[in-house]
Amino acid sequence: MPTKLAPGIREKRPGYFEVRVYGGLDPLTGKARQVTRTVRGTVKEANALRAEMLTSVADRGVAVRKSVKELFDAVLDHLEVLGREPTTLQSYRTIARRAGERMGKVPVGKLRASDLDRYYAELLRSGNKPATVRRAHGFIHRSLAQAVKWEWVKDNVADRASPPSAPHKQMALQTADAVVRLIAAAEDSREPELAVAFRLLASLGGRRGEVCGLRWSDIDFEQRLCSIERAVKQVTGQIIVGDAKTHQQRSLLLDDGTIEVLQAHRAAMDERADALGASLTADAYILTDSPDGAEPWKPNRLTQALRRLRKRAGYTGRLHDLRHWNASQLLNAGEAPVVVAARLGHRDASTTHKYYAHAMPRADKRSAELLDEALKPKAANNGKSD
């Protein structure tokens, strides 16, 4: 029987041994991690346990005593340091809070795919749409993938979970008449400046935050260009003005009607500023209530205005449908998807084609005509052989 204890073992009292093995450094904190177990028996049994523990650590790593909630908190902090969008982080925090209420106390290493599937089923039973559940799954999967990178767990159990499928719905497209009526209703409202906002949304195909973030310095009337470089966002009621993502920054050629609308709006703003004893700043926002143009409109203002005006205008869509309308008009007119993608600020044309392939009835008609022509029987060759 061996009488010498292996390194990392100490006899706490006769017949009771504490076995401790090194598990490497915690990649998140940089601190050493150790696994400790206690065994009652002989020196031989203590040494055997140590060998078993070393093999286990080599095969499966060190079980990190962190809960799911602690993982979510650490991931959110990590994403914030990486500079993720405030609105994205706000959405993630909402998902983390809800999921944390259900399984936040569960140790990360003991979380199972069945736990996730039960949670997804609860969300569905409580009235959440499949798309909402899939967004929750996306954050949970991302968090567990980070746990694998941090060596908190060996594998991502979310890979084996079964979130509900969310079939893609073909979006309903607004007619040009409906868009024109909406702009006219805005012009006749108590806030005629809304007509400028809706015109910009429809003609630029911009997002509401991008339109609210436009400054007069972004408009080159001589070159007839509009530069989209930033976006206004709202996070828990706070306005944040930030640069648009690299692939979303773009310059668009303006149409004649939009040029006229902007010129008239600029003249009206100059008159308002002069009447209030102010002048527009060099970087004045196009959509603003400030006499000097220093503060932009909140994006939610446009959404709320649409709700007030839609019935009067006979417009059945959402605010974002003005962007869809813009894309559908260009594609149906035969514009190349790569050009439309550039105007919309999509990362590549595949995104544009995925969402707007159904918006090209004229192109589809041309395709059908080409096929019809190709399939017509050819004229007889008068019996001559080749």
Give ∠ CA 209-213-215 in degrees, rounded to 5: 155
- Using 50, 70 and 90 to split pLDDT, how confident is the model at 30? low
State how far the Cα of 137 lies from the Cα of 161, in Å rounded to an integer. 9
Q: Which CATH architecture has domain 176-317?
A: Orthogonal Bundle (1.10)
Does an H or E element contain 74, and which? Answer: helix 68-81
Percent of the chain beyond pLDDT 70? 87
Q: Report domain extents, the chain.
A: 9-60, 68-160, 176-317
Contacts of residue 247, Cβ cutoff 8 Å, sequence gap at least 6: 345, 346, 347
Residue 173 CB coordination number (10 Å)? 17
Res 63: pLDDT: 54
For the stretch 176-190, pLDDT in tens is 999 999 999 999 999
> Highest mean pLDDT: which of 13-22, 143-152, 206-215, 334-343?
206-215
Contact 306, 295 (CB under 8 A): no
- Using 50, 70 and 90 to split pLDDT, how confident is the model at 224? very high
Q: What does R_g of the chain's alpha carbons equal in angstroms?
A: 31
Judged against a pLDDT cut of 60, whether residue 10 lies above it is answered with yes
Give the fold, CATH level 3, of 68-160.
Answer: DNA polymerase; domain 1 (1.10.150)
Q: How high does pLDDT run on average in the chain?
A: 87
Mean pLDDT, rounded, for 210-216: 96
Residue 58 CB coordination number (10 Å)? 10
Mean pLDDT, rounded, for 75-102: 92
Nearest to 65, CA basis, from 128, 5, 147: 147
- Using 50, 70 and 90 to split pLDDT, how confident is the model at 275? very high
Looking at per-residue confidence, does 135 or 331 come out higher?
135
Mean pLDDT, rounded, for 204-224: 95
Judged against a pLDDT cut of 60, whether residue 1 lies above it is answered with no
Distances (CA, A) of 242 to 85, 199, 220, 346: 9, 23, 21, 18
Percent of the chain beyond pLDDT 90? 56
Looking at per-residue confidence, does 95 or 246 come out higher?
95
Looking at per-residue confidence, does 29 or 197 come out higher?
197
Q: What percentage of the chain's residues is helix, strand, coil (to nearest 5)?
A: 55, 15, 35
Contact 202, 324 (CB under 8 A): no
Bridge partners of 228, per DSSP, are: 250
